[in-house]
Structure 1
């Protein structure tokens, strides 16, 4: 019998939920070890991942500890996917899937994260940095939209792990570049339709239900702000003033 994989995460960030969606799609047993973001650089997690970033997994079935979301996804697809769900084993398709996962890890994640930092969390507004990273976000989305023209999925004729790896960061696009949620994919019809195909799946809905519960347990809003902070503007003001932004009752 397969023992549950332990998944370490802080619920607010996008990267752990890439792994949760894949686990749900593959129906692999797992248990979540949820903890506060303030503790990512502390024991016991720093003994799991010396880089102090989530997610990380401990797999008792193979005595393996692994971190970096892309590496975890690759491992799960290789080790827990005997029916080749979410993947292909033909030469071109296999490497094209890996290509798109690497692009997500090197292009989407860093640019979205840096844009979010300068738009929301940095202690001062730096227009040149905001302009640069917002432009890079839109550039990457443009690459995706052009590629997806006439296609439902990134590779082949079915959903794969390469598609799903993009969903969690794209879902936060409005929070990253501070645009209206209803218009976050404006001018990107292919990306919008692709994203909606993924977020309509049971795996996504289950992952977001779990996230909502864990965020509530930590007193966090859906956007990741502590409860009681009503807007990004208020959050920015508190950060700039050096105030404690931990959850308020």
Structure 2
């Protein structure tokens, strides 16, 4: 059994989608940003960084894993699925996973901040992060013009990237003209496990507003 500590954010969805795809049993612990539960002492013992998501694998001596990319790798290696076992295939998946972790998430997160939340509008900052996010989308589009999924076969790289790209409008970034990226988005949206993962955890309207603000901060 996996304990999943999460909230309604792109990074949280990565792990809930992966758990649904892998069919692993898990128990959801929804953390309230409004109540700063992610900073509670008991949670900091699981994730010293005080962010979501994190997991605890009860079947592996209650082993805790934090950082969404690290969690995805752990789950893939635990099950032998969603990442190839051969050296080159595994490297390809990790390269595209790191592209999301180091590029799409941070840049789109900053676009969210300056476009939605910053107390004053700074056009140069908004343009800088929106343009960089669009450039990263174009890299994804080019890749997806060559292969069906980011690493060839469906993998944790797709699971990591999709929850961010699906909210491109929130950052004010268009996907117009990126036909391969749009095709990929449609394919992932149709997956039953993805649909189920996007419902974890169910959120109230009040909490949703807190989550929207947090989405721009929880970018790793």
> Is the contact between residue 141 and residue 178 of structure 2 (CA under 8 Å) also seen in structure 1?
yes
Question: 1:9 is matched with which residue: 6, 26, 35?
Answer: 6
Residue equivalent to 1:233: none
Q: Distance in 1 between matches of 2:138 and 2:163?
A: 18
Q: Which residue of 1 aligns with 2:197?
A: 207
Does residue 78 (structure 1) correspond to residue 77 (structure 2)? The answer is yes
Name the structure 2 match of 1:60: 58
SS of the aligned residue for 1:66 comes to strand
Normalising by structure 1, what TM-score?
0.79
- 1:164 partnered with 2:159: yes
Indicate conservation of the 8 Å contact 1:25/1:203, yes or no.
yes
Contact 1:97 1:155 in 2 (8 A): yes
Does the 8 A contact of 1:8 with 1:55 survive in 2?
yes
Which structure has the larger Rg? 1
CA contact under 8 A between 1:215 and 1:222: conserved in structure 2?
Answer: no
Q: Distance in 2 between the 1:96 and 1:71 partners?
A: 16
Query: How many Å separate the matches in 2 of 1:37 and 1:202?
Result: 28
Query: Is 2:30 aligned against 1:34?
Result: yes
1:146 aligns with 2:142: yes
| Count of aligned residue pairs for this structure pair | 210
More RCO (CA 8 Å, sep 6+)? 2
Distance across 1 between alignment mates of 2:52 and 2:25? 19
1:109 to 93, 105, 127: 105
Contact 1:10 1:35 survives alignment (8 Å): yes
Partner of 1:235: none
Aligned residue for 2:48?
50
Q: Which residue of 1 aligns with 2:217?
A: none
> 1:221, CA displacement in angstroms?
5.9
Deviation of 1:80 after TM superposition, in Å, equals 2.1
- Give yes or no for the alignment of 1:195 onto 2:185: yes
1:224 to 206, 212, 220: 212
| 1:25 corresponds to 2:24 | no
Q: Which runs of 4+ in 1 moved over 3 A?
A: 221-225
Instruction: Mark the runs of 5 or more structure 1 residues left unpaired by the alignment.
Output: 226-249
Measure the CA separation in 1 of the matches of 2:54 and 2:199: 20
Offset of 1:223 from its aligned partner?
7.7
Distance 1:114 1:80 in 2: 34
RMSD across aligned positions (CA):
1.8
- TM-score normalised per structure 2: 0.89
CA distance in structure 1 between the partners assigned to 2:119 and 2:210 by the alignment: 22
CA–CA distance in structure 2, aligned partners of residues 207 and 221 of structure 1: 20
Secondary structure, counterpart of 1:209 in structure 2:
coil
Give the CA deviation at 1:217: 7.0
Whether contact under 8 Å (2:3, 2:57) holds in the other structure is yes
How many Å separate the matches in 1 of 2:118 and 2:159?
29
